Amino acid sequence: MTAEIKIHTFPFTKYGIIDGEVTSVSNDATVDEQRGLIYGMRLKMKQSTIMVEGKEIKLMPGMAVTAEVQTGKRRIIEFFMAPLLRYRQESIRER
C-alpha cells in the first residue's frame, strides 16, 4: 500500500509530502483515548530529506508525522451516496 507522509514540523502545504510504502501493520489494535482503536504501522520513505527554504534537511527518527494510506478507491458519487444506500439497506430489515 502506498502512503503520503506529512512531517508536522514542515507544513505540507508549503514543503510538500513524502511518498512512502507501508512495510508492516500491527496484528492488534491499541486504544487511543482521542482517536479510538488504531493500528501501528511501519513505513518506508522514498526519500530521507526534505527541501526547506533551499536547504536539504535530513529527516530523523522520532519526528511526528501523519501518514495517509490509500486503502482503496471509489468515485465521488459513491462517497456521497454511501449514507443513503446504508439507510435504505438498513430500513428494510426487521429487528
Domain extent, residue 26, equals 2-91
Q: Residue 95 — pLDDT band, cuts 50, 70, 90?
A: low
- Output the CA–CA distances (angstroms, integers) from residue 56 to 28, 38, 53, 67, in the order listed: 37, 33, 8, 21
| Strands of the 2-7 sheet, one edge to the other | 41-45, 18-25, 2-7, 65-69
> What is the average pLDDT across 50-62?
92
Q: Is the pLDDT of residue 45 over 90?
A: yes
pLDDT at residue 18, as a whole number = 94
Per the structure, how many domains does the chain have? Answer: 1
pLDDT at residue 74, as a whole number = 79
Whether this prediction's pTM lies above 0.75 is answered by no
For 39-92, strand residue ranges (E) read 41-45, 49-52, 55-58, 65-69
Q: How many CB atoms lie within 10 A of CB 31?
A: 8
> What is the average pLDDT across 19-41?
91
How many percent of the chain have pLDDT more than 70? 96
